Amino acid sequence: MLGPIFVREASVLPRRSRTYVARGVYLLAFLILLCTGYLVLDGARTLASAGDAARFGRWMFTLLVPLQWLILTAMSAVGSASSVAQEKDRRTLILLLLTRLTGSQIVAGKLASTLLTPFSLLLCVLPLLMTLPWLGGVWPTQVWMAAAVTGASILLSGAIGTVVGLWREKSFQAIALTVLILTMHVAIGESVARASGSSLACFAAPISTLTQILSPLATLDGRAVPFVATYIVATLTTAIALTGFGIYKVRIWNPSREVRLRPQAIETSEEALHASEEAGTLGEIERNSWRARAPKPVWDNPILWREICTWAYGRKVILIRIAFAFVFALIAAVVYSQVQSGVALERAGQIGRALPASTIPLTALGVISLVLVNALAVNSITGERDGLALDLLLVTDLSAKEFVFGKILGVMYVAKELILLPLALIVMLGLWQVVTIENMVYLLIGSVLLYIFVITLGIHLGLHYLRGQTATLTSLGTVFFLCVGIAVCMTIMVSFRGAFQLQLPPFLIMTLGGGAALFAALGLRNPSSAL
């Protein structure tokens, strides 16, 4: 039913060494987090009694389950979108459409082959999570329900990424729209679920569903079952409907109008037509003329000129800007409501909250912006390579500085809305006195440095890897894991502030592990003395 595309990927995947490396690293990362949590809690209070062990098991389950849902959902969405986008960039999707493969074999085969890795990672961590009920505080039913909810989310995000990848022509458009659609889907679903409070309203609210699962009492008395059943049924139904829609549209959307051949039309100026009428040679000009336009003036750096003065990433970039502006307006409204209610002005230490109330909305907007800017940067290089234009640029008289800085400045210009809107929210927090002016300046400087970092990271990895999909996944994965790792490390450190001896072990573990992962992603294939 899934066709030869899935059969090939299922037969080739076990032969790749990086498959087992990815599974081992993923499981090792969760094991390190579990050991780090044990060191932190054991340093604060010895886990001597059964109650201490139960509290530790519940705390680690509360940390690992949402983290796994976030990682695997993002991996499934970005992986499926980039997989289809790579087929389009290399013009191999057109070849698939010319074969006897049906639409279901193409769409469902690509979706299933992309989901092999996320589902295998989910199964790898499942035995580790099943050890937590031995400590107490966690029921085995909670682990199975959390795995079911995560699996349903993986399927839905993969379906969204596949359909969007089939719909859009450019890789950046596919990845950016997939991220924004998932973000709006979760935000709107959570808003509806929290406003209603009913289990039927959790059909699109994975966070609220996981919150019910994380409560042992809700699992024990059966209150979590309706939430889980509603979410899983709704998610699977939506994923099947989206896949069916993609099957119906695959040969309508592809090949797109950008790659279809058009007959050359006649285009002549009014002066030429008038002169030909006087000379009596109008018919000859109509037979021999072709569509020609006057050449446009190009800057000294043609790379920067192309990035700024042309639609290098397609005209649908405007749609991405509008969607991001909608997400910005939604998050700004949430922060403004917190300011009006006074919650955002309360100190975290006085209300028993580890972080200020406005931290999560601002962080969510910043992470989304960083991921989109990084995706644009890496696709600015992979698009040139997949389009067989990078080799032509390297044989011209363009210098390396012109190429690299032209790409960096061009990405900054194209993604100006993605960069300026989060900075504007930081300024708004300063004007609303949520943060001091000094801290606002620090946030602005740090944000600008992060944007420069993700842009240069994307360009470096785009030049580093030969396959566009590998470069995109590695670049986005680096940014994503840096954000998640720093968030986990800071949460642990803030929870034990005032005790340096408790903060040092998790800080060292996260720093050494993150440094090793960065070296493997950035400098293992092509060693560099600078790295």
For residue range 13-51, list pLDDT tens digits in order: 888 888 898 899 889 888 888 887 777 665 555 666 777
From the list 251, 227, 210, the residue with the least C-alpha distance to 101 is: 251
Write the burial class of residue 252 (CB in 10 Å: 0-12 exposed, 13-18 middle, 19+ buried): exposed
CA of residue 100 relative to chain centroid, distance: 33
pLDDT confidence of residue 473 = 85
pLDDT confidence of residue 119 = 95
For residue range 77-120, list pLDDT tens digits in order: 999 998 898 888 778 888 898 889 999 999 999 999 999 999 99
Q: Which helix (H) or strand (E) holds 358?
A: none
For residue range 226-253, list pLDDT tens digits in order: 889 999 999 999 999 999 999 999 999 8
CB-based contacts of 357-365 (< 8 A; 24+ apart in sequence): 358/429, 358/434, 361/331, 361/334, 361/335, 362/331, 362/335, 362/422, 362/425, 362/426, 362/429, 363/487, 364/183, 364/331, 365/327, 365/328, 365/331, 365/421, 365/422, 365/425
- Among residues of the chain, what percentage have pLDDT more than 90? 37
CA of residue 29 relative to chain centroid, distance: 20
The tokens describing 50, both together, are 């059964």
- Number of C-beta neighbours around residue 241 at 10 A: 11
Reported as a pLDDT band with limits 50, 70 and 90, residue 351 is very low
Write the burial class of residue 231 (CB in 10 Å: 0-12 exposed, 13-18 middle, 19+ buried): buried
Report d(CA 315, CA 510) in Å as an integer.
41
Token look-up 């309706």 returns: 226
Query: Average pLDDT in the 426-432 region?
Result: 91
The tokens describing 256, both together, are 């797109």
Report d(CA 493, CA 238) in Å as an integer.
40
Convert 171-209 to b/e letters by CB count within 10 Å (16 or more is b): bbbbbbbbbbbbbebbbebbebbeeeeebebbbbbbbbb
The residues near 401 (Cβ < 8 Å, ≥ 6 apart) are none
pLDDT confidence of residue 280 = 55
pLDDT confidence of residue 525 = 74
pTM here is 0.83
Residue 162 has pLDDT above 60, yes or no: yes
From the list 468, 485, 466, the residue with the least C-alpha distance to 526 is: 466
